[in-house]
Amino acid sequence: MKINRFEFIKKIVSFFVLYAVNLVTAWAVVIPIETAKNALILQTDADNRLLITYFGVKLENSSEYALLNAQMKQDDNRAGVFNHAYTPSGTWNLVEPALSITHSDGNLSTELKFISYKNEVIDANVQIHSVLLKDPVYGTEITLYYKTYINENVIEQWSTIKNKEKGSITLQKYASANLNFVDKDYYLTLFHGGWGREMNPEQTLLSYGIKSLDSKLGTRPDSFMQPVFMVSFDKPATEENGKILLGTLAWSGNYKMEFEVDPYHNLRLIAGINPYSSEYRLVSDKEFETPSFIYTFSNQGIGEASRQLHRWARNYRLLDGNGSRLTLLNNWESTFFDFNEAKLINLFADGKKLGVDLFLLDDGWFANKYPRNDDRAGLGDWEPNRKKLPNGIGYLVKEADKAGIKFGIWIEPEMVNPKSELYEKHPEWVIKQPERPEFYFRNQLVLDLTNPQVQDYVFQIVDNLFGKNTEVAYIKWDCNTAIYNANSSYLQKTGQNQSQLYVDYVKGLYRVLERIRSKYPKIPMMLCSSGGGRVDYGALKYFTEFWPSDNTGPVERAYIQWNYSYFYPAIALCNHITDWSKVGIKYKTDVAMMGKMGYDIVVSNLSEKELMFSQDAVKAYNSVKELVWHGDLYRLASPYENPYSSLMFVNEVKSRAVIFNYVVTNRFDEKFTPTPIRLQGLNPEQKYRIKEVNLYPGTSTTLDTTAIFSGDYLMKVGFNPDLNQQRTSVVLEVNQEAK
């Protein structure tokens, strides 16, 4: 047998490495938390505290993880152990804590020592690593959970805190996750916004100190800042290059995510429920479970990180993420509050004429004593308005069925107008300060979902709709008000702390949604909050889709949808064609197609050509929707760097793709795409033919559709969609040539 010298040397080297590792592990416990590509390494120190020693791409040789800690010389006199896996406060730690507790005797100190580690294998793709830490004096038990989705390279992290004292303890700060990163520089991208202008990215080089993203709005937490972020390591990542972390907190309430560059220039990240006004009392032996912090890492750019998160969301989080969706016609912008049965029945026919699957009846269908004819009255009184709808919802469902279209309905069950029967009957169900003037947003207030009776009431609203009208096929669940005057008469009455309101509200909401889903597991529901005021993976467990923005101006939408696409799969985004802007119907439609398409227009106002185009567009959408809903997204050209944007969805076997190209400026420019746009995600060895779809009647393509290209060519050279003033949006279908 021939001696392989290389193999021999390798064996000798790994023997010595293992020897060294054994020496180190004589006192250290090393916990590798791995996905297919990445690793998060935890290790105990000499004092049995738990540290994070590594985060990044996996090492080839896992035995070498034990050597990591020795490389870190960052513990000068215990000024602070910056890379602690869950930093407590009041003892040795002098930096921003993840955990802060007032113990039953008033003492403010907590220390956490490693006790044990467990790895539960759920299936071939999912594992739950859990690490138990304990305070040696008070016995407080903290369990850190790291759920790994191996192929998606996603980690879902949360913690539980258990009170082992005889008396109650108060949690001051109780983060979901505490992470530590070591690199040269850190570029944070946050997404700020407001009504009608959601998801604006802003990138900053993090400097020393703490930068935090947070919300104190309660029910519409994301109105000003979305609970999502990206961190590029070393230098700003691009779609195809660079080290990038995408993260988000799965919590539909106040959140806080802190990014601290410590004195050694490491990055500490603490994410969780916002401690603002939220001290939480925990009685003896009770446990608090934090929401999940969800993150994914790629060293190959933002595109790959996004696709990982999308796959995770479709496979594991978004309700019916791998299923299908209904195209629809909504009546909000076409009628607002002004409709009756006859008008609606005509709209059913319009929806059918367009070819969509469902008609969605929006706000204004309910309340009698204080009819819901505008947004000043009626919210809370969920009986059909007898004047507008004398025959009730059941009748509408039947009429829609006769017209050959499904029927869906809008509700806003967490809210109440002071001018309503509900408010008259149950003022104690409303969140408000007893001694102070009420403060309204859109003339309404928030119901107190900490109260089990209110939870029952909200559940009943939905149960009545589905129970009485079994054919209701869809719900749009809105939430238009933030919490002002945060105070609960229920918490008061039951002797609980007011500071639990923000947290218990969200828990109450989830309890209701849980009940709805156990009784009605499949019915599609849209999450809406005057647009994207409440979008997160806590809520999306119960919803099939969300409304990204009330702003449906298609150029604005090209940006808004682009930015949501970093974190959410296209199947979750409801994009409607409306009359919000005067841009032509083709452009609007092409933009709406890059997600879940719907309409909110007056169909009878469409010209003959526009109608013809729209009817064909619904068919064109039906033929590409599979790619958009379940394919992999490649963002080809950013609207922030070009006068156009271009995105592509490719199916798993790389045989079919659809490409959306939109001009985003009205500046004079003869040809917006003088050079081709490089495609991605194809098979370099396959041959493809490209055709233009969704053309406006009477126009023809300027592209040569007879040409056949290799995937290699399309990914190295590209394809030119020929965007110009006459062709401001172009949809391309890419099909593999039969061999």
For binding to ligand GLA (CB under 6 A), which residues are involved? Answer: 332, 362-363, 410, 478, 480, 528, 530-531, 547, 550
Residue at shortest CB range from ligand GLA: 363
Minimum distance of ligand GLA from residue 372's CB (angstroms): 9
Chain length of the chain: 739
Taking 3-state DSSP, the helix, strand and coil percentages for the chain, each rounded to the nearest 5, stand at: 25, 30, 45
- Helix, coil or strand: residue 525: strand
Decide if 76 is catalytic.
no
Residue pair 177/270 in contact (Cβ under 8 Å)? The answer is: yes
Nearest to 87 by CA among 173, 171, 162: 173
Closer of 528 and 648 to ligand GLA (Cβ): 528
Angle at CA 260, nearest 5°, toward 255 and 266?
135
Minimum distance of ligand GLA from residue 416's CB (angstroms): 14
- Helix, coil or strand: residue 580: coil
Residue pair 136/49 in contact (Cβ under 8 Å)? The answer is: no
Residue at token pair 């064609």: 577
Closer of 331 and 455 to ligand GLA (Cβ): 331
Residue at token pair 């590409």: 624
Nearest to 327 by CA among 733, 533, 615: 615
Distance, in Å, from the CA atom of 727 to the CA atom of 695, rounded to the nearest integer, reads: 10
Q: Which residues contact 474 (CB under 8 A, 6 or more apart)?
A: 326, 328, 358, 360, 406, 407, 408, 409, 523, 524, 525, 526
From the list 478, 536, 590, 632, the catalytic residue is 478
CA 715 to chain centroid: 30
Decide if 185 is catalytic.
no
Minimum distance of ligand GLA from residue 617's CB (angstroms): 22
Distance, in Å, from the CA atom of 631 to the CA atom of 627, rounded to the nearest integer, reads: 5
Minimum distance of ligand GLA from residue 195's CB (angstroms): 8
What strands, in cross-sheet order, belong to the sheet with 708-710?
632-637, 644-650, 656-663, 729-736, 687-693, 708-710
Residue pair 332/375 in contact (Cβ under 8 Å)? The answer is: no
Distance, in Å, from the CA atom of 308 to the CA atom of 314, rounded to the nearest integer, reads: 10
Minimum distance of ligand GLA from residue 408's CB (angstroms): 12
Closer of 443 and 464 to ligand GLA (Cβ): 443
From the list 262, 362, 381, 550, the catalytic residue is 550
Closer of 323 and 553 to ligand GLA (Cβ): 553
Closer of 163 and 551 to ligand GLA (Cβ): 551
Closer of 169 and 528 to ligand GLA (Cβ): 528
Minimum distance of ligand GLA from residue 361's CB (angstroms): 10
Minimum distance of ligand GLA from residue 377's CB (angstroms): 12
Residues serving a catalytic function are: 478, 550
